[in-house]
Chains A and B, each alone.
Chain A
Amino acid sequence: YPYVTGTSVVGVKYKDGILMASDMGASYGSTLRYKSVERMKPIGKHSLLGASGEISDFQEILRYLDELILYDNMWDDGNSLGPKEVHSYLTRVMYNRRNKFNPLWNSLVLGGVKNGKKYLGTVSMIGVHFEDNHVATGFGNHLARPILREEWREDLSYEDGVKLLEKCMRVLLYRDRSAVNKIQIAKITEEGVSISKPYSLRTFWEFNAFRNPTVGAEGSW
């Protein structure tokens, strides 16, 4: 069972690669215990992994991947594991653990670019996996994906992509109780990975719907 958990991760494909966003919070049940947890990490040269769910399981996954990348580098054969391969590896690991009834309690988002081909995929804790133009975990599935379905287009520019992700993260911040207003946006392109410094989103709490949520339906929430 999960103890310390991270909330959603959202990822989109854009013109030059993949953009991924997550906040830096980790909750201990209903306490927002840790507020500087990096839930996105680069993997090898070509991939970026974001995780929600149990943080300790995420750290263990990072250890598995470290070993995987180490062996890949030791071959020294000019080939390096691309995002598709890492995704496949993670899928097998997650599926295997669920087969032993001891799952890694995470939902992972794996994005990357290799040889010009962009890849964005996700794996859940029971091994369900797929790739798509935009993915999200946890609450992001409910709140962010509808926004992305409406507003995602092929060949988003970097600025548009960031704006889109910020919009999703803002909605999550308003409506997900385990979200924290300290987010990072990670970008991965053919050149490599860059994870932004943490920053806060501007929020607006004076919406009429917030001030008066039950207008038209007194007595409801």
Chain B
Amino acid sequence: MTKQHANWSPYDNNGGTCVAIAGADYCVIAADTRMSTGYNILTRDYSKICKLADKCLMASSGFQADVRALQKQLSARHLIYQHQHNKQMSCPAMAQLLSNTLYYKRFFPYYAFNVLGGLDTEGKGCVYTYDAVGSYERVGYSAQGSGATLITPFLDNQLKSPSPLLLPAKDAVTPLTEDEAVDLVKVVFASATERDIYTVSSCVYRVL
């Protein structure tokens, strides 16, 4: 008996780019607004950012249906947390939750490339970056999605983040002011748009 394998794929890449930058007391998260499939544009103003908690925003690019399912999952879990603990989830806690949620589907992954941004319990900016199956790291800035390869080197140059291997551990947050970081993000999207067909310069950004 021949095994019939699916000739359709359950995944699709709806494109898009997400960026987050952490500062001393703020965090900027931005994502472009184009949703595409193959060479077509589906819509021009779809926001990829989701507010999971008071101090925690998630931006995700990749397969939109999975992204939406992930957002719903996390929002629901956050609601339960609020009911059980009578407080909002902190960003580091949400970061762990996102990682676990992604790994839960290790053998049929959420095709979502996430960047979590917010303020940690001390009020300092924090950015966590993920892959599709949940491995994560706290960083000073991050880009994910189709334009990530264009944006990350530029951010490396501008923000000069210290190596995480250094001892004593140096803080990865940028010394830029909030306005400077927002300007940087706008510039970064403009450049990515020049060369990435899945990214547009129209982007939504939130600052915490």
Residues of A with Cβ closer than 8 Å to B?
91, 95, 98-99, 101, 103, 126-130, 132, 141-142
Contacts and interface: CB of A to CB of B under 8 A. Distances in A.
A98 B45 CA distance: 25
Contacts of A128: 12, 14, 35, 37, 42, 63-65
Contacts of A103: 8, 10
B107 interface: no
Contacts of B108: 99
Contacts of B69: 95, 127
B104 interface: no
B6 to A, nearest CB: 6
A130 B35 contact: yes
B43 interface: yes
A101 to B, nearest CB: 6
B10 A101 contact: yes
Interface hub of B8, B35, B40 (most chain A Cβ within 10 A):
B8
B46 interface: yes
A141 B40 CA distance: 8
B170 interface: no
Contact of A129 (B6, B10, B64): B64
Contacts of A142: 40
Contacts of A127: 65, 68-69
Nearest to A132: B43
Given A99-B10, A99-B108, A101-B6, A130 B46 contact: yes
Interface of B: 6, 8, 10-12, 14, 35, 37, 40, 42-43, 45-46, 63-65, 68-69, 108
A91 B45 CA distance: 19
B37 A98 contact: no
Nearest to B14: A128
A170 to B, nearest CB: 21
A137 B42 CA distance: 10
A13 to B, nearest CB: 13
A141 B36 CA distance: 11
A98 B12 CA distance: 12
Contacts of A132: 43, 45
Contact of A95 (B8, B35, B65): B65
A130 B43 contact: yes
Q: Give the 9 A-B residue pairs with the shortest CB-CB distance, closest first.
A: A127-B65, A132-B43, A130-B43, A128-B64, A128-B65, A98-B10, A95-B65, A130-B46, A141-B40
A97 to B, nearest CB: 10
Contacts of A99: 10, 108
Contacts of B63: 128
A101 B42 CA distance: 24
Nearest to B69: A95
Contacts of B11: 126
Nearest to A142: B40
Nearest to B6: A101
B10 A126 contact: yes
A129 B68 contact: yes
B8 A130 contact: no
B40 A91 contact: no
Contacts of B46: 130
B200 to A, nearest CB: 14
